[in-house]
Amino acid sequence: MIRARVIGEVWATRKSPLLDGRRLVLVGVEGADRAMVAIDTLDSREGQSVLVAVGSGARNVLKPGPDNRELLCDAAIALLVDGES
């Protein structure tokens, strides 16, 4: 997983049916000048610090495996950070 901060929400009408009902958010990667799009199931808000699961593990956020390989997801918010030390 990687640390990131929510920048905004991505709206799309024309999309794969596999993304129907999914909330897409744009997140900025902490410590890097990069951003990525992740699926959000946790109702994150702009500015929220989050951990993003990436790669094949991201599908486990939406539905625990192994029966989840049909999901269209390579990045998903796994948790909203309350604090860290």
Partner 1 sequence: MILGRVVGEVWATRKHQALDGKKLLIIEPYAWYAPPFQVGHLVAADPVGAGVGEDVVVCMGDPARRQLGSTSIPVEATVCAIVDRVERS
Q: Residue numbers of the site for partner 1 (CB under 8 A)?
A: 7-16, 18-19, 24, 26, 29, 33-39, 45-46, 54-56, 59, 69-75
49/74 with CB nearer partner 1 = 74
Task: Supply the minimum distance, in Å, between the C-beta of residue 84 and partner 1.
Answer: 22
Which DSSP category does 39 fall into?
A: E
Task: Supply the minimum distance, in Å, between the C-beta of residue 14 and partner 1.
Answer: 4
Rounded Cα distance between 77 and 74, Å, is 11
For 50, other C-beta atoms within 10 Å of its C-beta total 23
11/84 with CB nearer partner 1 = 11
Q: Do the strands 23-29 and 49-54 form a parallel or antiparallel pair, or are they unpaired?
A: unpaired
Task: Supply the minimum distance, in Å, between the C-beta of residue 82 and partner 1.
Answer: 20
For tokens 């990436």, the residue is: 54
